[in-house]
Chains A and B, each alone.
Chain A
C-alpha cells in the first residue's frame, strides 16, 4: 500500500497547455503539501492545505492552482505551461501542520517542450 501516491509519474507537454497532477494519501493525515524540486535538486514548498483549508501559499504564479476536494487528496492544476515549469513536483502529507515530518510521494517529473 503506497502511503502518498501521485499521478502521473512522468508528464511531457507543450508550452501553453494546461495539465493536472493528482495526489492521494492513505495515512489519515490532516495536512498535505506540494513541493517543487528544480534542476539543481533544490526543494521548495509551494502550497500547504490543512483539512482542505489553504494555509501556505508561497510566491507561486497564479497559473498554479491547488485543489483539495477532501483531506486525503490534493491536486495541482497548472495553466499555460511554460518552459520554466519543468521540474519534479512532490506531494507530501503530515499528521499535523506544526513541526512534524512529512511523507513524500514518488514525484512527478514535468517536462515542458
Chain B
C-alpha cells in the first residue's frame, strides 16, 4: 500500500525567507513522487516530479525537492518566498508500475506575510 503524510497543515513564512514543506511517504514499491500547487479557486499545477533519476529535483518557480529513501521523505524547499507562492501544496505518490492512481497528501497551506 502507498500513503503520503504532509507533516504540517499550515506553514507561515515572511516574504524573502526560506520555505520548507515536509512530506513523508510510504510505499512497498519503487515510488514516483510529485508536488502539486493549487492556488485559490484554481486547478492543480505540477511543481516538480521524482521518477527514480536524480534525487535532487528542481521544479518551476524556484522550488526543489530532495528524495531521501532512507528517511522516506520528499520535502519541498524554496530559498526565498514570494507573495505569489501563497497557495495549497500537495505531496503525491504513485507506483511506477501501477494504474496511474495518484495518492494525495492532506495538503499544506502556505501563507506568505509581507
Binding site for B on A (CB under 8 A): 4, 31, 33, 35, 40-45, 48, 50, 55-56, 90, 92, 94, 96-107
Contact = CB atoms under 8 A, between A and B. Distances in A.
A44 B90 CA distance: 12
A105 B38 CA distance: 11
Contacts, number: 69
A40 B90 CA distance: 13
**Residues of A contacting B: mostly:** strand
Interface of B: 32, 34, 36, 38, 42-46, 49, 51, 88, 90, 94-102, 104, 106-107
A101 B101 CA distance: 10
A45 B43 contact: no
Contacts of A103: 46
A102 B99 contact: no
Contacts of B49: 101
9 contacts: A40-B106, A56-B99, A90-B43, A98-B100, A99-B97, A101-B34, A102-B100, A104-B45, A106-B42
B88 A41 contact: yes
A31 B100 contact: yes
Contact of B99 (A4, A40, A90, A98): A98
Contacts of A99: 32, 51, 94-98, 100
A42 B104 CA distance: 8
B106 A107 contact: no
Given A41-B107, A100-B32, A105 B94 contact: no
B99 A107 contact: no
Contacts of A56: 99-101
A105 B43 contact: yes
A91 to B, nearest CB: 9
B90 to A, nearest CB: 7
A21 to B, nearest CB: 14
